[in-house]
Amino acid sequence: MWQKLQARLEQRKAHDLLRQRLTLEGAQSVRIRAEGKEYLNFSSNDYLGLANHPKLIEAMQKAAKQYGVGSGASHLIIGHSEQHHALEEELAEFLGLERALLFSTGYMANYGVLTCLPDKNDLIIQDKLNHASLIDGGMASAAKMLRYAHADMDSFERQMKQPAESRLVVTDGVFSMDGDIAQLSELADSCKKHKASLMIDDAHGFGVLGEQGKGSLEHFGLTQGTADIYMATFGKALGGFGAFVAGSELLIESLIQFGRSYIYTTAMPAAVAAANRAGLNLIQEEAWRREKLAKNIDYFRRLASEYHIPLMPSQTAIQPVLIGRNDKTLAISRALKEAGILLVAIRPPTVPENSARLRVTLTAEHTTDDIDYLLEQLALQIKQMNEKT
């Protein structure tokens, strides 16, 4: 095993695919410290700038004083505190759904839903570009999984015709590496027609999209109940950590009884739940953050097109710059780092072969000066790279 692993690692390295971590020396923010330097950060999912907000910090400190740090057990043993309970109730009320259930991470929420709800006679039908946790959950499920070409309704309809006792259609609300929004009206109509259930992973839509921040369904003017299973995370727009699933009483009770990734894991600390509650409050109280982010997205796209930077058709905070080759993408990312910008290269297998990209994520905290500097440097590096190769 070890020899084979060594060979796999070396192969990764040879193809410029070795992943590396950066050790931060301060808070998550637009300006971030690492390796003794300050960088302008364009790689964070902290879309609304809440990860370092004083109200979240205060809520966490206060709750840690009252509840301690460790939650001590899983939710079903004695790990479920009044902070968790209040957060679940506030989420259900905000979304207008019957109930919500906390999970320690989004990965576990998706894995739990797909491995415990459908059985061997059912079909899971997923977009090919869905998040890895949905794909992994689908593969581990007793149900058969089919995938359709990304955002391709013909391919989707073909999969819907496959025989099954029942069908669960699963899609990201906002696709994490492309930034486009799923065609939710069309998917929901088809689900209705075929009596299929719909699950939305709105990790990148919740808090950001829609006038009130309710996410991708609100963005299209659809009711929250359009999805039978609504999942989102706290680690992005809400500035916290963890995830939840929301929907009917039947959905939530089934997850509590049968969801192994819910049952067999320690509950998130109560202090984290308290910080998530503060984040949930802020997305409701401070709509200006979404407006500022929308302005930044608009500004970025307009200026990028003036610089002829190869963007994808995304209208969200995720604005990938498609480069293609792994070595080129990595070289541009390294050159930007030299210029004080953190813009991480995203390479296969996270994205398809030959589609390596620099995934720009914009936040409400970026200024137009920040965006000017990024695009000026990006245009320069892309030009220099193209001249070299």
Q: Which residues are annotated as a binding site for pyridoxal 5'-phosphate?
A: 106-107, 176, 204, 233
Which residues ranging from 334 to 363 are in contact with ligand PMP (CB under 6 A)? none
Bridge partner list, 147: 126
Region binding ligand PMP by CB under 6 A among candidate stretches 28-36, 69-77, 196-204, 218-226:
196-204
Q: How far is the CB of 303 from ligand PMP (least distance, A)?
A: 26
Backbone angles phi, psi at 40, to 5 degrees: -90, 120
Return the residue of 127, 201, 218, 370 that touches ligand PMP, per CB under 6 A. Answer: 201
Shortest distance in whole angstroms from residue 209 CB to ligand PMP: 13
Task: Return the residue of 46, 88, 127, 172 that touches ligand PMP, per CB under 6 A.
Answer: 172
Using CB under 6 A as the binding rule, whether residue 105 contacts ligand PMP is answered as yes
Cβ at position 207, least distance to ligand PMP in Å: 13
Taking each helix axis from N to C end, the angle separating 106-116 and 249-258, rounded to the nearest 10 degrees, works out to 90
Give the whole-angstrom CA distance, residue 220 versus residue 31: 33
**Torsion 59-61-64-69 (CA) sign:** positive
- Interacting residue with ligand PMP among 50, 59, 84, 106 (CB under 6 A): 106
List binding-site positions: 19, 106-107, 131, 176, 204, 233, 350
Q: How far is CA 300 from CA 132, 179, 236, 239, 359, in A?
A: 28, 14, 20, 23, 13
Give the annotated binding-site residues for substrate. 19, 131, 350
State yes or no: is 355 an active-site residue: no
Q: What residues numbered 260-289 form the site for ligand PMP, per CB under 6 A?
A: none
CB-based contacts of 311, cutoff 8 Å, min separation 6: 301, 304, 305, 319, 320, 321, 322
Tell me whether residue 156 or residue 175 sits nearer to ligand PMP (CB atom).
175
- Choose, by CB under 6 A, the member of 203, 330, 336, 351 that binds ligand PMP: 203
| 46 is a contact residue toward ligand PMP (CB under 6 A) | no
DSSP track, 205-233: TTTTSSTTS--HHHHTT--GGGSSEEEEE
Q: Which residue is nearest to ligand PMP (CB)?
A: 106
What tokens were used for 321? 């710059």
Enumerate residues 213-242 that contact ligand PMP by CB under 6 A.
233, 235
Edge-to-edge, what's the strand order for the sheet holding 167-172?
99-103, 243-247, 229-233, 197-201, 167-172, 123-127, 144-148
Out of 133, 176, 333, 355, pick the active-site residue.
176
Calculated CA dihedral for residues 94, 95, 100, 103, nearest 10 degrees: -90
Please answer whether residues 243 and 109 qualify as being in contact, where contact means their C-beta atoms are separated by less than 8 angstroms: yes
Q: Is 176 a catalytic residue?
A: yes
Binding residues for ligand PMP, rule: CB under 6 A, are 105-107, 110, 131, 133, 172, 176, 201, 203-204, 233, 235, 243
Residues involved in catalysis:
176, 204, 236
